[in-house]
Amino acid sequence: ELESTVSITVVGASGDLAKKKIFPALFALFYEDCIPQHFTIFGYARTRLTDEEMRNMISKTLACRIDKRANCSDKMEQFLQRCFYHSGEYGLEENFSELDRKLKEQEVGRLANRLFYLSIPPNIFVDVVRCASRSASSPTGWTRVIVEKPFGRDSQSSAELTQSLKQYLTEDQIFRIDHYLGKELVENLSVLRFSNLVFEPLWSRQFIRNVQLIFSEDFGTEGRGGYFDNYGIIRDIMQNHLLQILALFAMETPVSLAAEDIRNEKVKVLRSMRVLQLDDVVVGQYKGHTKGGRSYPAYVDDPTVPKGSLTPTFAAAALFIDNARWDGVPFLMKAGKALHTGRAEIRVQFRHVPGNLYKRNFGSDLDKATNELVIRVQPDEAIYLKINNKVPGLNMRLDRSNLNLLYAARYPIEIPDAYERLLMDAIEGERRLFIRSDELDAAWAIFTPVLKELEEKRIAPELYPYGSRGPVGAYYLAAKHNVRWGDLS
Ligand code: BG6
């Protein structure tokens, strides 16, 4: 029986994502012995580089998990020796045939599996897939392609992209990545829910008042304005990252942990969601601001952003799942760039205790006395539960306290980057954390009408100062649904 080998070709090797995330993740997997022993990595891009130049380029970004670990530099050297480069056009089959020849030289005598990572702009996805599948797919083993978003701009363009890819690849070969699904606390969501008796029975409209999915960054689109302006925050963060978290959070119990079982449940919950309405959306855009003698640019100051752009860099939305479990529970999303803090978290606000004996101890604001479960995805990973507690002493004074699982304290190890898990899964053929095409359709169906309406009506975003908490409209939207943002109270 032939031994197998895996060749990983990073298409768009000189781009930002490849340098910042993909090569370092591949190295980490190698360092941890989590990729097959025999592997080859190829960088593919238009820039002319020698193997040595490519090794130089990526070696700067590689790091050992814990810096001073033994034999890190040896490992790095071994890793770099497995890295090669091929320069070519993205739409030229003959360039991919040349790559194929080079791959074969590395694969001699082995069962060759091939993984292509498309780290390129969406307008060349299909060209690359056509060339790679025709001229560089594996003659002996599997061929898989990892695709990064954007998967289209709306339902129609996404369906078109899916159709075009299907001319060359089967659904099984396509790994649509959403890197939020590779984050440790997102992966943990289902463990938390399904293996703790104290949570799952409460996971419904009966006990949960609202759920909040919050994403913020404390920097703007610096340098990425050209890409971003064509998409905006709803497509960049909400329709994928936050919605994926929502689906995992709200889905019914899957039959098993098998990829298809989980994805079936995710599709079901997404299809039960109400189409988002314009009056349940608030959009914002950051404006320039001076603070402490430093001035921060407006979104439209970015030279790659067209003057007068109405693209939202902030959005808040109220979503609903029309099924038996979640009927009437608002799922509020908030996502923004250039805000006062950088964070991603899920907040679950529970209902009031019926007939609460301690009502009078809470003053007039009973809402503040309900339990809240916070799952902080980043930066400092944590799960905490706000509970009411008696302040020790002779008086009956109540206090809000946290049962707090802070990862840094409980698990003193470095948490792997999301890309490490996802790359490892793709190599192993584990599809659980990748987006199936019907999930994608369901996700677009929720957001497409409102995205169209925002653009057609040229709705102006509410301006908010760089580094602030975002537009006040987000408070009103929450208040309309009887919700108070947990991150602001
Ligand atoms: C990407 C978005 O998908 O996610 C970026 O395109 C965003 O705009 C990034 O900055 C955030 O990812 P992370 O892992 O840094 O939170």
Q: Give the CA count within 13 Å in the CB-facing half-sphere of 178.
A: 28
Report residue 176: phi and psi, to 5°.
-85, 120
Identify the residues whose C-beta falls under 6 Å from ligand 1. Answer: 179, 217, 236, 344
Ligand 1: centre distance to CA 154 (Å): 19
User: Which of 149, 179, 184 for mutating ligand 1's site (highest number of atoms within 8 Å of CB)?
Assistant: 179
Residue with tokens 């987000």: 474
Q: Report whether 308 contacts 279 (CB < 8 A).
A: no
Q: What is the pTM of this model?
A: 0.96
| Chain segment 296-349, per-residue pLDDT in tens | 999 999 999 999 999 999 999 999 999 999 999 999 999 999 999 999 999 999
Count of Cβ atoms closer than 10 Å to residue 132 Cβ: 25
Active-site position among 38, 179, 241, 352: 241
Taking the CA of residue 236 as reference, the ligand 1 atom at the shortest distance is 6
| Chain segment 185-243, per-residue pLDDT in tens | 999 999 999 999 999 999 999 999 999 999 999 999 987 888 899 999 999 999 999 99
Ligand 1: centre distance to CA 424 (Å): 20
ipTM of the complex, rounded to two decimals: 0.96
Ligand 1: centre distance to CA 233 (Å): 10
pLDDT at residue number 362: 82
Closest C-alpha residue for ligand 1 atom 10: 217
Count of Cβ atoms closer than 10 Å to residue 328 Cβ: 11
Closest C-alpha residue for ligand 1 atom 2: 236
Report residue 81: phi and psi, to 5°.
-65, -20
Omega into 24 within 30° of 0, i.e. cis? no
User: Which of 186, 241, 415 for mutating ligand 1's site (highest number of atoms within 8 Å of CB)?
Assistant: 241
pLDDT at residue number 311: 98
Ligand 1: centre distance to CA 217 (Å): 9
| Chain segment 24-49, per-residue pLDDT in tens | 999 999 999 999 999 999 999 999 99
Q: In whole angstroms, what is the distance from residue 177 CA to residue 436 CA?
A: 10
User: Which of 230, 237, 245, 311 for mutating ligand 1's site (highest number of atoms within 8 Å of CB)?
Assistant: 237
| Chain segment 369-393, per-residue pLDDT in tens | 899 999 999 999 999 999 999 999 9
Closest C-alpha residue for ligand 1 atom 8: 236
To the query of whether residue 179 is one of the catalytic residues in this protein, the response is: no
Ligand 1: centre distance to CA 441 (Å): 21
